[in-house]
């Protein structure tokens, strides 16, 4: 076989191959972006559950979510650093946020052994920041606060 006997170039096959490569690349980038943004989903869900319990005024359940111990009433001495009375003072109707009528998770930032989740409570300008431990999903107050950016910051978070 010589150069002059080579097969005719198939433009349709080359176009299909190029389109498959482009589509595969785009889908890979989208999948990577979705997986990157879904990495904090369990911690965000724990905060949603917490504020859902506060919204339904079930403070004992909210404390159970906070401590990640549904049987906390059986052994309240296990939590001397943040007992239920202090929790109720902070998160109850007389607390900083008052009666929780609505909440929305804004963003999250993974740092070290936990995730800081920023939440809008009662459509207030001030945001609640909650620390969620990655190992057991217990909640606490964060070592620092985060500020959610605009849509570009969320896109590139």
Domain regions of the chain by residue span: 9-35, 40-156
> Is 40-156 CATH 3.10.450?
yes
Indicate if the pLDDT at residue 57 is higher than 60: yes
| Separation of CA 143 from chain center | 17
Indicate if the pLDDT at residue 4 is higher than 90: no
Indicate if the pLDDT at residue 84 is higher than 70: yes
3-state helix, strand, coil in the chain (%, to 5): 45, 15, 35
Tokens, residue 154: 């969320």
Tens digits of residue pLDDT in 119-148 = 999 999 899 999 999 999 999 999 888 777
Average confidence (pLDDT) over 90-105: 92
Question: Taking the complete model, does pTM exceed 0.95, yes or no?
Answer: no
Tens digits of residue pLDDT in 5-56 = 778 888 999 999 999 999 999 999 999 988 887 889 999 999 999 999 999 9
For 76-117, the DSSP string reads GGG--SS-HHHHHHHHSTTSTT-S---EEEEEEEEETTEEEE
Per the CB < 8 A criterion, the answer to whether 133 and 155 are in contact is no
């Amino acid at each position: 076989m010589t150069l002059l006997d080579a097969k005719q170039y198939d433009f349709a096959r080359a176009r299909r191959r190029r389109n498959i490569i482009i589509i595969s690349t785009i889908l890979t980038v989208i999948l990577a972006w979705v997986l990157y943004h879904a990495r904090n989903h369990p911690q965000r869900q724990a905060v949603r559950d917490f504020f859902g319990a506060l919204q339904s005024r079930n403070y004992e359940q909210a404390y159970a979510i906070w401590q990640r111990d549904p049987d906390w009433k059986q052994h309240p001495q296990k939590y001397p650093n943040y007992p239920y009375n202090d929790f109720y003072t902070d998160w109850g109707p007389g607390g900083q946020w008052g009666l929780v009528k609505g909440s929305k998770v804004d963003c999250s930032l993974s740092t070290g052994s936990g995730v800081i989740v920023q939440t809008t409570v009662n459509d207030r300008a001030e945001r609640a920041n909650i620390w969620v431990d990655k190992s057991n999903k217990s909640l606490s107050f964060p070592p620092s606060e985060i500020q959610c950016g605009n849509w570009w910051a969320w896109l590139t978070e």
